[in-house]
Structure 1
Amino acid sequence: MTYTPHGKHLIAGEQIDADARFTSSPIAGEGHSFAAGNPELIDRAVRAADAAFVDYGNTDTETRARFLETIADEIDARGAEITEMGHAETGLPTARLEGERGRTIGQLRMFADHIRKGDYLDRRHDTALPDREPLPRPDLKLIQRPIGPVAVFGASNFPLAFSTAGGDTASALAAGCPVVVKGHEAHPATAELVADAITAAVAKCDLHPGTFSMVHGGSLDVGKALVEHPLIRAAGFTGSLRGGRALYDLCAARPEPIPFFGELGSVNPMFLLPNAMSDRAAALGEGWAGSLTMGVGQFCTNPGVAVVLDGPDADAFIDAAAKALGEVDGQTMLTDGIAEAYRSGRDAVVATGAVESVLSKECDGRTAAPALFVTSGADWRANPDLSHEVFGPLGIVVRVADLDEMEQLAKDLAGQLTCTLHMDDADTDAAKRLVTVLERKAGRLLVNGFPTGVEVSDAMVHGGPYPAATFSGTSVGTMAIRRFLRPVSFQNVPDALLPNVWA
């Protein structure tokens, strides 16, 4: 089965062409031609979304739940084509893409179940107290309401789970907000297939066609026009700190600022405590290597830093990690640009002069090979560049003198998506000291595990303090829906005028 892309934008149910075009860059063979986005197309899509909000923002919960489930069905029906095209465009293994599609579909269905329960609305009612002294109390009803059209930026590293129908889109649609997606140039055909699926679901559910649109990428003006459009009420983004911060600043500089929910970057440090290291240092080193190289290190939760107490156990950990990493050859990355950025990041680590290179294989083109470096706690603190995310299979081991230095390093951390403790029961007292610090630094704390892989569930948080994310919250799990809601209090309002989800 071979899919031939139509190469057009999907705006309010219509396929829209454009004069300017770009060509995709698959891992092999010829690329396909796609219409490039521009500010005029963005304006058309956003205005359609705003028109749709009058209807879609006032749909009942069951209508929205069925819509989410229909999107899942439509994506599933295109599963073979999505996998084939996703592999061709990104180089991701078919098993990974099928798993990611299952996660995307599962998230849509989980959100449908969640909104049916109604808890996300946080309904509250203070009944009137007309005889209260010294002043009567009015009747007050509070409920969460959708904020309006939402901009979503497709992510390079997750063509399904964080792109066209990913967590941000699913959250916004569950909340009752129309969505305009800026597709990512790294996988335009995959984005098109998923956009076709959502557009088909809009039609099947007889919703306003402006409920969903996707404009392919183009110049930087496309993203700028999207976040600056006065009818956009919020934006969701997964990507680099540099790109995300630029968009965040644009959102903040608007005459009417809007929230920019960006997930921007993290080194996801691990802290390996002495008794755990004494018991299983080599196994931990081998496990870390597997996590570092999973998906060529192209996960936002890739644990790029390991903090260990200096000594023989640290040597055993490093030796085991180096041996395991040395057995991994160069692998294909998502884009040529990401591969080049990985090599530039690796070279920047070396250029600090503060690291010992344990392993660094040559790689070129679209490939990346693992790299492993070791530094001291003092050199880590003296070289802030070492704490910058390198997107790919690169690890840094930080040797510290004692637990006090380990705790100080934790205190110096910027915000992270995850922090991990490896410990035995005998490490509990030391772990308590670290947890007090790390719960302020990360959105998710792990014990005796590796953070690659994010469970889609009610209790998951995928976010963290800046620069891991721009706002405290989560882009994964049912709480993600609340990003696109705002509380409204109705005072002495008759039931006939309340939102139809109040009952």
Structure 2
Amino acid sequence: MLTGKHLIAGHWRDGEHTFKSSPAEGSAHEFAIGTPVEVELAAEAAEAAFASYGYTSRAQRAAFLDRIADEIDARGDEITEIGSQETGLPQARLIGERARTVGQLRLFARHIEAGDYLDRRHDAALPDRQPLPRPDLRLMQRPVGPVAVFGASNFPLAFSVAGGDTASALAAGCPVVVKSHSAHPGTGEIVAQAIDAARRALELHPGVFAFIQGGNREAGQALVQQPLIKAVGFTGSLAGGRALFDLSTRRPEPIPFFGELGSVNPMFLLPQALAVRGAGIAKGWAASLTMGAGQFCTNPGIAILIDGSESDAFIDTTKQALATVAPQTMLTDGMADAYRAGVVRMEGATGVEEILGKVCEQRQAAPYLFVTSGREWLESAELGEEVFGPLGLVVRAADFDEMLKIAHALQGQLTCTLHLDPADAPQARQLLPVLERKAGRLLANGFPTGVEVSDAMVHGGPYPASTNFGATSVGTMAIRRFLRPVCYQNMPAELLPADIGADV
């Protein structure tokens, strides 16, 4: 049952003002608006909780993550129902996203139980070394303290209240203060209820998790500036993320801001692959481009190929495939408005031809396809900017040299993809060193939508894809964002943390 309240220090708390949700279908609900007052209380409770939670065992934290997963699954039908109403997403998508969310929690539980993520190192003392003895040195990773997490608009579960950022921080030993996204406040609250139920069942400090509803930007700004917050996890727009990133770095004590901001995820179609498999690649691109109304951060918005008859056939096949895709409901009215604005921007760009377009009304998004030349793309920075939705741009390079120039000109990306056959290997070898510097994940003969939650996954990249190119927001390495190395020199064994005691 929804309360419409914030969860702070184990208590559900009213707000002075409220906002009304804007569901795609069904009834709207009233929710408390988050303010700096709630941020202050939540941060103080999180700091108090760190004194105990930061020193729990790996087994205790793994049990917490597992119990959260159990509590979310126990509320599965309720989450699916309100999530579908608020976002317009199909129930099957939400069920799948819930499975990914609880699977991630359980994966992280097993990962921290193994202990490898602690990166434990030991340089034994060398008292007889000349000219100077060496002290006993032990290193391990320790949690940074309370972490702020911003729920994402496009993933109401996997990147939201109990998503990757929250799971990573809790696994590391960091209390979490979540600012929920106002696009799905009811979904967020039910998940928060699940986390609180898990906390209560295991008798953890009530400050270990706080949930603050959205409603305006004031709470988010206060959260990244709150002195007790030691790191931030964010998934959202480039403009919003950059503003919060700037605030976090201008604090008297700057803190790391792990923001995933935007990406066009370019695909490079090399000549032999285009000639042999162009139609199949076109159909696959159309499916990936329109999946979930194009509201995935790995949506492959740009296809780059060398001009010629094969490129004509690729464009025609893509157009036919996209023409069969019906308009889809976007997650929010604001996203739909932004998508229409992106379409208008593309329609007005010099040297861009519209191949396919349909009128988009209210929260509906229909696919668009545009084509431009490599020269025009290189001369217009705005053609490389993300349009969040099912919009594709084909860039016709004059030759491979121009394709290589396009690769060099790319901004940071989450992914870059090569479509190649064996005969394309020489050109792929020239592109690969360039693309390695542009993206966190490189694909061959695939599509980037569908991010595996695993040990080897990297979901991040150079700016503006993310604000920290050395981090990932998906996969077990994401836990490392909320840890820092501590070295213990000549520390008595009885004072060492259990994870790095004398027998380690």
Contact 1:354 1:383 survives alignment (8 Å): no
> Residues 306 and 396 of structure 1 are in contact (CA less than 8 Å); yes or no, is this contact kept in structure 2?
yes
Output one character per residue of 1:447-494: Cα deviation in whole Å (capped at 9) or x when no partner.
Answer: 000000100000000000000000021000000000000000000101
Residue 333 in 1 paired to residue 333 in 2? no
- Which of 456, 459, 464 is equivalent to 1:459? 456
1:329 Cα deviation (Å)? 1.8
Residue aligning to 1:490: 488
**Preserved CA contact (<8 Å) 2:235 2:260:** yes
Matches within 5 A, 1:355-394: 355-394=352-391
Residue deviations 1:416-468, cap 9 Å, x none?
Answer: 00000001011111111111110110000000000001000000000000000
Counterpart in 1 of 2:475? 477
Q: In structure 2, which of residues 29, 34, 50 is the aligned counterpart of residue 32 of structure 1?
A: 29
Q: Give the secondary structure class of the aligned counterpart of 1:134.
A: coil
CA distance in 2, matches of 1:12, 1:344: 42
Cα distance in 2 between the residues matched to 1:359 and 1:449: 24
Aligned partner (choices 292, 296, 299) of residue 296 of structure 2: 299
1:502 is the counterpart of 2:478: no
What is the SS of the residue equivalent to 1:436? Answer: helix
Name the Cα RMSD after superposition.
Answer: 0.7
* Structure 1 spans left out of the alignment, 5+ residues: none
1:349 to 338, 346, 368: 346
Instruction: After superposition, give the CA deviation of every residue in 1:381-410 in whole Å (9 maximum; x if it has no partner).
Output: 111111000000000000001111111100
Q: Is it true that 1:309 corresponds to 2:306 in the alignment?
A: yes
**Residues 122 and 139 of structure 2 are in contact (CA less than 8 Å); yes or no, is this contact kept in structure 1?**
yes
Aligned to 1:132: 129
Determine helix, strand or coil for the equivalent of 1:501.
helix
Report what 1:142 is aligned to: 139
Q: For each residue in 1:304-337, what CA deviation from the matched residue of structure 2 results, as whole angstroms up to 9, or x when unmatched?
A: 0000110010011000000011111211000000
Name the structure 2 match of 1:318: 315
Q: Paired residue for 1:184, among 178, 181, 205?
A: 181
Residues 1:6 and 2:3 are matched in the alignment: yes
Indicate which of 147, 151, 163 corresponds to 2:148: 151
**Is the Cα contact below 8 Å between 2:350 and 2:376 reproduced in 1?**
no
Q: How does 1:442-453 map to 2 (within 5 A)?
A: 442-453=439-450
Contact 1:282 1:319 (8 Å CA) reproduced: no
Give the CA deviation at 1:175. 0.3
- Which deviates more, 281-290 or 156-165? 281-290
The alpha-carbon deviation at position 221 of structure 1 amounts to 1.2
The alpha-carbon deviation at position 13 of structure 1 amounts to: 1.2
Aligned counterpart for 1:87 among listed residues 84, 88, 95: 84
Query: Any idea what SS the aligned residue of 2:392 has?
Result: strand
Confirm or deny that 1:162 pairs with 2:159.
yes
Shift of 1:98: 0.5
The answer (yes or no) to whether the contact 2:4–2:186 under 8 Å persists in 1 is yes
- TM-score when scaled to structure 1? 0.99
Q: Distance in 2 between matches of 1:502 and 1:364?
A: 59
- Tell me, yes or no, if structure 1 residue 224 matches structure 2 residue 218: no
| Cα pair 1:58 1:500 within 8 Å, conserved | no
Question: Per-residue CA shift, 1:314-370, capped at 9, x if unaligned?
Answer: 011000000011111211000000000000011111111220000111011011100
> Residue 34 of structure 2 contacts residue 213 of structure 2 at CA under 8 Å; is this kept in 1?
yes
Aligned residues of 1:22 and 1:35 also touching (Cα < 8 A): yes
- Counterparts of 2:474 and 2:30 in 1: how far apart (Å)? 33
CA distance in 2, matches of 1:221, 1:18: 14
CA contact (8 A) 2:5 2:32 kept: yes
Secondary structure of the 1:418 match is strand
- 2: CA distance, partners of 1:354 / 1:180: 47
Cα distance in 2, alignment partners of residues 29 and 285 from structure 1: 37
Partner of 1:247: 244
Return 441-450 or 278-287, whichever deviates more.
Answer: 278-287
Q: Residue 18 of structure 1 aligns with which residue? A: 15
Distance in 2 (alpha carbons) for counterparts of 1:380 and 1:396: 10
The Cα of 1:187 is off from its aligned counterpart by 0.2
Question: What number of residue pairs does the alignment pair up?
Answer: 500
Unmatched segments (≥5 aa) in structure 2: none
Report the secondary structure of 1:244's partner residue: helix
AA in 1 matched with 2:486: V
Deviation, 1:500, is 2.4
Could you state the TM-score of these two structures normalised by the residue count of structure 2? 0.99
Distance in 2 between the 1:236 and 1:499 partners?
Answer: 27
Is it true that 1:289 corresponds to 2:280 in the alignment?
A: no
Shift of 1:9: 0.5
2:95 is matched with 98
